[in-house]
Each structure stands twice: as structure tokens, then as C-alpha cells.
Chains A and B, each alone.
Chain A
Amino acid sequence: MQSFTVHTGIVAALPRDNVDTDQIIPKQFLKRIERTGYGDVLFFDWRYDRDGNPDRAFPLNAPQYHGATILLAGKNFGCGSSREHAVWALRDYGFRAIIAPSFADIFANNCLKNGVLTVVLPPAEIAQLLARDAAGLHSLKIDLEECQVSGEGDFQAHFEIDPFSRTCLLEGLDEIGMTLKREAEIAAYEQTRRVGV
């Protein structure tokens, strides 16, 4: 997994609440058996018009967001289907981090497993970020070592993150490898009680 320590990039604002994973990647793109190659179909139904051309009304297509690596989203981002393809699409598009007032549980977990940082900030700070965006300030720095988001226009915010999630991201850990090292405990557990069905 790609590690995340400090990242500076362009922030694209998509201030809509309850963006579900069906919007992030529609069902017709879930038939592939690979983990990569989903960037072009991210937000497919919103991003392209019926002829397949970029829809100018969709925020991500705005020229100021070209090359964006940080997404500023609304509350409950990533709700609905557990499809990890949603995170693969965001990552393949180039996003390294998503900032929102809240995230859906499975989506946030999936982000973590793919080196995509989810930053939860309170509504007041999200509003500040949106004001910066309106004022043409599009760059932000996210420091996971310090748990801080900062940028021009005197923006500075601290965020909380579960300590183990933070370590996994900082070090790009292979979680399966770590759990496999607990083989003795897992085997002992299986011995002590009848497991399964």
C-alpha cells in the first residue's frame, strides 16, 4: 500500500451531501476483475454528458481543479454500496485525500486500505475551506505526522484519526501480513472453541 505522510495539492470542491458510491462509480464498471484502471469513469454519470463529453456543469471538470489530488466533499460521503471500486476510481483519478464533515463507515475503511486519507473536519472548518475555494485559493497541505491541514489564507486545522489507521497510512503497512504474524493466537482461538457453522 502507498504510504501517506505529507501531501500538498489542489483541492477540488464537491459540496454535496450523501454522495453515494453508485455516483462515485456506476454499476456497469464493476465487471472488471482488476484493481486499477477506474480513473476515467469516476463520477461517470455526473462527469460526462450523454454524448460522452465532459459536462461543464460538474465541478470536477472546472479548469481550476485540473490535477486536483484532494477532494473537499459533503457529509456522509461514500454512503451505500461497499464497492471498493469507488476508492480505486478516486485513487486512479489522482486523489490522495478526501476532506469531509463525515464519511460512511465501509467507504472510509476502504480508503484506508488503499492509502487514501479521509480527513474529518467540523462544518465550520469545511465552510472556511469552501470560502477559500470561492476566493480562488485551491492549494492545501495535509500533514499526517502532525494531523494538520494548512494552506494560504491563514487556514490551519487539526484533525483526529484512529491511531492504528494513522500508523498504517504513514508506513504503508500490509495489514494481512501483520495479522498473519498472529498465527499462534488465531490457531489457539480456533482450538479453544468450535468456530464457524
Chain B
Amino acid sequence: MTARTLFDKIWDRHLVCAGPEGSSILYIDLHLVHEVTSPQAFEGLRQAKRKVRRPDLTFATLDHNIPTAGNRMVLEDALARTQVEALRKNCREFGVPLFDLDAPEQGIVHVIGPELGLTQPGTTIVCGDSHTSTHGAFGALAFGIGTSEVEHVLATQCLVQKKPKSMLVRFTGATGAGVTAKDLILALIAQIGIDGATGHVIEYAGDAIRALSMEARMTVCNMSIEGGARAGMIAPDETTFDYLKGRRFAPQGEAWEKAMKQWAALKSDPEAKFDSTVDINAAQIAPFVTWGTNPGMAAPVTGEVPDPDRGASDSERNSMARALEYMGLNPHTRIADIAVDRVFIGSCTNARLEDIRSAARVVKGYKISGSVQGMIVPGSQQVKRAAEQEGLHRIFTEAGFEWRESGCSMCLGMNADRLKPGERCASTSNRNFEGRQGAGGRTHLVSPAMAAAAAVAGRFVDVRNWHYKD
């Protein structure tokens, strides 16, 4: 039998049949739904008098446009309210379970899937959101889709797909202290570019990946899309199984034992061929900070803002110059000399419990800089409760941070959490596009520890030299 990659194995197992003209009809095991990309899909079903084929494999939550402060059951923004009401009505009408704003399970769709045990190895998972790649951390094939495909999955539980190519990314060596999963993925994107993995499914491997916790693996897979990849995945191992065991939707008892046996086979065969391979020495990666307007425009915290004149082509020089103008930065400015006005710790990339802990450890015993406004937005209600049980919220509030309710918040600024024009933000989110966090806002992507340190220092500092007070 031909050697197969992990991706091949999951793909083959989900082939319902060959589709028209070289396409494939792929079965979807889990469909996650949120308020922003689903209303038109449900409306399409209604108009065509179609049903949701498998409401039992479909789960909805509210996360993108909701407030993270005040009484969340009262939405002041009329458009957001309409969209939230639409999801409630659609879920009732089509029989889809919804984790509403008052539910203990509510949170960012890519945070709650794993924590509820819905995300499982070897499955196919889709959601109308590009960061669906997060779930690949469990050895699932998980990818973002548009609203038309959301409607297609609702109606058929399948997607018509053309098989993407495969890419192996090996992080060799051991990651240094203070260097996180966020830095690994930012370093990769800086190396391959934001379209470096277009048309590919990435499998992450190597010692540095194996050493990561489940939550850290999610951070890596989450940003696969920022390198253009269709999906990112990591073969499941003991770390995966330990994380999943006992979670609400994970198999229990005999079913668990049976699942474990199946999951153990979920890895690429030693002779499996990838369409391309990238090797990165994790030991040489420093904490990263983005300086531009896409996630590939990043530099080590020990480095400086590059000179557009050194771009490789006219088009790259133009992009760099445009980015620096937007960001209000001069070439050769040291990254450590960039001062920030805002700090946002949140998003599906970095708002799980370990992220909050890592930021709290940096902040403990300090006050944030007088010129900085800081915000912590836990990824889910479950993360929020767990952090509060550990007393982490007090570390933050005593330091001068705001401690918020769970949601996507200022990662994309659909709610009231936004940067003002010209404000500069150290953010643990995933995109530093122009206006992403608010029109005219300037975003620098960093790890939670780096964001916390920037809040205290008022500028970027190398968290590897941090004086911890714990």
C-alpha cells in the first residue's frame, strides 16, 4: 500500500464518493456556526425549503459581534442585535444547539470546540471562519469556509472539494525559555510569506511541536491560514489524549478505549511524500513582533524595522513602504523602542487558560504603564471561570488591566472594542491588517507574555529578560 500522510488518511476516510469532474464529495463530522457568517446560509435553506441534514453534528455560539462588558443580554448595537436574534431564531427553527450569551459554555467558537471535547482526532471540521484551522491541533482536518459552503454543509453535511497539496513543516531543536508557540508560527510566516502555503494543508512536526501543550499547538494551527494554508494539523499523541479525556463530548468508557486505538494510527507513514517541506530551527527563534500590515511582516524583538529599499522587488518595496507609512514607523527603528498605547490579550489565537496564566505571571507585582490601556478578554466563559478560580483576574485588575467577558472582541473590532485612529496596540490576536482592530489603528502581533511585558514597560521588551516577581 502506498505510504500516506496524516492528511491523506483523514481525507480518504471522509470520501463519500467521487464528485463531478475530478472533485470529491467529502463528509463533514462537525460544523461550527456563529452569528456573522450564517444568517444568509439559513435564509438560503429557508428559501429552497431545505432542512439542516445533521443538526446533531452542528453547534452554534455567539462570539464575533457581542459586547465583552456590561449586561450582555442587552445588545445596544441594533445591527448586532438583529444578527444575534437571527442566529437564535435559526437555531430554534432548524434544531441546532446554541451556546447563547448566558450559557456557561459560551465563548469563541475555536476555543469552545476543543474545551467541550467536540474537536477530536481524525475528524473533518468546518466553520464559516478562517481560523477553523485551530482544530487541526488535534489531528483533525479543519478549515474555514464561506457562507455559501456553510449553507452547503447545513443542507448536505458534505462539501465538494478538490484535494489540496500537502506541506510538512518541521520545527527542530528545542524552543528557548520565553519563546512561545506564537513566536514559532510568526517566525514560520515571516519565512514563507503570507501566501507561502496557499493551496496546501500543513502538517507540523518536529521536537519543538511535540513539546508543546495542546493549547500551544492550537496557537500554531490557528495561524496556518495567515501563511495562506487551507489547514494546519498535528498528529495526535499522549498530550492530545490527556487533554481530551473526560471532556463532555469526548468518547467515554469503552468508546474511549476504542477511539484511542483508532487515533493512535493517525500519523503520517514514515515514507509518506509531501508536496513540499520546510525546516526551521526552533532553537534560533526569538520572541517575534510584527511591524507591518500583514502577519508575515515580523521581526525578532531584538531586531529593527526593516528598510523598504531592501525589499526584493518593486512590489515588495511598495508594500513595505505603504505598511510603514500606515504604521507610523521609520526604517531601522529598534523594535524595543516602539511605544504602545493599548494592549489586547484575547482572540482564538491566544485567549486560553495557559495564555492568561503566562500573561499573569509577567504582570504579577507590577502596574501597567500610565500611558497604556490594557484589556484581557478570555476566550470563553470556561477560561474566565478557571482563571478567576486561580485568582488571575485580580493580578490583572490590580495592575490596571480591564478584565472582560469572553468573545472575539478587539481581534476584529466588530463590537465596541476598537482602536482609535493612530493608536498603537500590542495584540495577541492573529491579524495586523490595516484597520483590523479599528480604522486607522496600528496592530503589532505578539505572544501573551510579550503583550503583558509591553503593557508594563509601555513599549516592547524582550520577555526573555523579564524580572518575574513570583
Which A residues have a C-beta under 8 Å from some C-beta of B?
15-18, 20, 22-23, 26-28, 30-35, 45, 74-76, 79-84, 87, 102, 104-106, 109-110, 113-114, 162-164, 167, 175-176, 178-180, 182, 185-186, 189-190, 193, 195-197
Cross-chain contact A164 with B23 (CB below 8 angstroms) = yes
Q: Which of A16, A22, A175, A190 contacts B152 (CB 8 A)?
A: A175
Q: Is the CB of A82 within 8 A of B434?
A: no
- The reply to whether B82 and A82 contact each other, CB–CB distance below 8 Å, is no
Q: Which residues of B contact A189 (CB under 8 A)?
A: 16-17, 27
Return B412 CB to nearest CB of chain A, in Å: 5
Docked-complex contact A197 and B123, CB < 8 angstroms: yes
Inter-subunit contact B195/A80 (CB<8 Å): no
Chain A proximity of B69: nearest CB distance (Å): 18
Contacts of B27 in A (CB 8 A): 186, 189-190, 195
Q: Are A106 and B434 in contact (CB under 8 A)?
A: no
B470 CB-CB contact with A under 8 Å: no
- A196 B20 Cβ-Cβ under 8 A: no
Q: Do A179 and B37 contact each other (CB < 8 Å), given the known contacts A23-B433, A76-B195? A: no
For B, the interface residue count at a CB cutoff of 8 angstroms equals 77
Return the contact of B414 from the options A31, A87, A178 (Cβ within 8 A).
A31
A83 CA / B48 CA spacing, docked (Å):
22
In the bound complex, what is the Cα–Cα distance between A84 and B152 (angstroms)?
14
Are the C-beta atoms of A30 and B414 separated by less than 8 Å?
yes
Report yes or no: A197 in contact with B249, Cβ–Cβ below 8 A. Answer: yes
Q: Is A105 touching B198 in the complex (CB atoms < 8 A)?
A: yes
Bound complex: CA of A193 vs CA of B10, how far in Å? 13
- Give bound CA distance, A17 to B414, whole Å: 25
The interface residues of chain B lying within 8 Å CB-to-CB of A81 are: 130, 412, 431
Distance (whole angstroms) from the CB of A166 to the closest CB of chain B = 8
CB of B380 within 8 A of chain A?
no
In the bound complex, what is the Cα–Cα distance between A83 and B64 (angstroms)? 12
State in angstroms the CA–CA spacing of A20 and B434 once bound together.
9
B148 x A164 contact (CB < 8 A): no
**What residues of A have a CB within 8 angstroms of the CB of B36 in the complex?**
30-31, 83
User: How distant is A21 from chain B, measured CB to nearest CB, in Å?
Assistant: 9
Q: Is the CB of A185 within 8 A of B130?
A: no
In the bound assembly, the distance between CA atoms of A179 and B48 in angstroms comes to 14
Nearest B residue (CB) for A112: B148
Cβ contact within 8 Å between B37 and A84: yes
Chain A residues, Cβ within 8 Å of B422: none
Segment with Cβ contacts to A, from B156-164, B360-368, B381-389: B156-164
Interface residues of B (CB under 8 A from A): 13, 16-17, 19-23, 25, 27, 29-30, 36-37, 39-40, 43-44, 48, 50, 53-54, 56-57, 64-65, 77, 79-80, 82-83, 86, 117-118, 120, 123, 128-130, 144-149, 151-152, 155-158, 160, 162, 164, 194-195, 198-199, 225, 228, 230, 249, 294, 315-316, 318-319, 322, 412-414, 431, 433-436, 439
Pull 30 A–B residue pairs with CB atoms less than 8 Å apart, ordered by A: A16-B319, A16-B322, A18-B294, A20-B433, A27-B436, A33-B43, A45-B434, A74-B315, A76-B195, A76-B228, A84-B37, A84-B146, A87-B146, A105-B228, A106-B146, A109-B145, A162-B21, A162-B22, A163-B21, A167-B20, A179-B25, A179-B152, A180-B155, A182-B25, A186-B156, A189-B16, A189-B27, A196-B56, A196-B57, A197-B123
Residues of B close to A74: CB separation below 8 A: 315
With a CB–CB cut-off of 8 A, which chain A residues contact B56? Answer: 196
CB pair A80 B130 closer than 8 Å = yes
Q: Give the interface centre of A28, A76, A179 by most chain B CB atoms within 10 Å.
A: A179
Cβ–Cβ contact B79 & A18, under 8 A = no
In the assembled complex, which residues on chain A have CB atoms less than 8 Å from the CB atom of B436?
A: 22, 27
For B79, what are the chain A residues with a Cβ–Cβ distance below 8 Å?
31-32
Among B23, B128, B195, B294, chain A packs the most CB atoms within 10 A around the CB of B195
B319, A79: Cβ atoms closer than 8 Å: no
Q: How far is the CA of A176 from the CA of B249 in the complex (A)?
A: 29
Q: Are B414 and A104 in contact (CB under 8 A)?
A: no
Q: A82-B128, A164-B20, A197-B30 are in contact. Are A27 and B412 (CB under 8 A)?
A: yes
Residues from chain A with a CB closer than 8 A to the CB of B199 are 105
Interface centre among A76, A80, A104, A162 (most CB of B within 10 A): A80
Q: Beyond A31-B83, A175-B152, A195-B27: 5 further Cβ-contacts under 8 Å?
A: A74-B315, A76-B198, A110-B148, A162-B22, A163-B21
Taking a contact as CB atoms under 8 Å apart, the answer to whether B198 and A33 are in contact is no
User: Which chain A residue has the least Cβ–Cβ distance from B143?
Assistant: A106
The chain A residue with its CB closest to the CB of B250 is A197
Q: Contact at A178–B20, with CB atoms within 8 Å?
A: yes
Which residue of chain B is the closest to A179 with respect to CB atoms? B156
Contact B21 A176 (CB under 8 A): no
Known: A164-B19, A164-B21. A84 touches B147 (CB 8 A): yes
- Would A79 and B228 be within 8 Å (CB), given that A106-B146, A109-B149 are in contact? yes
Q: Which residue of the partner chain, among A15, A31, A167, A185, contacts B16 with CB atoms under 8 Å?
A: A185
> What's the Cα separation between A179 and B24 when bound, in Å?
11
Q: A74-B315, A82-B145, A185-B25 are in contact. Are A104 and B50 (CB under 8 A)?
A: no
A80 / chain B contacts, CB cutoff of 8 Å: 130, 225, 431, 433
A31 contacts across to B, CB distance below 8 A: 36, 65, 77, 79-80, 82-83, 414
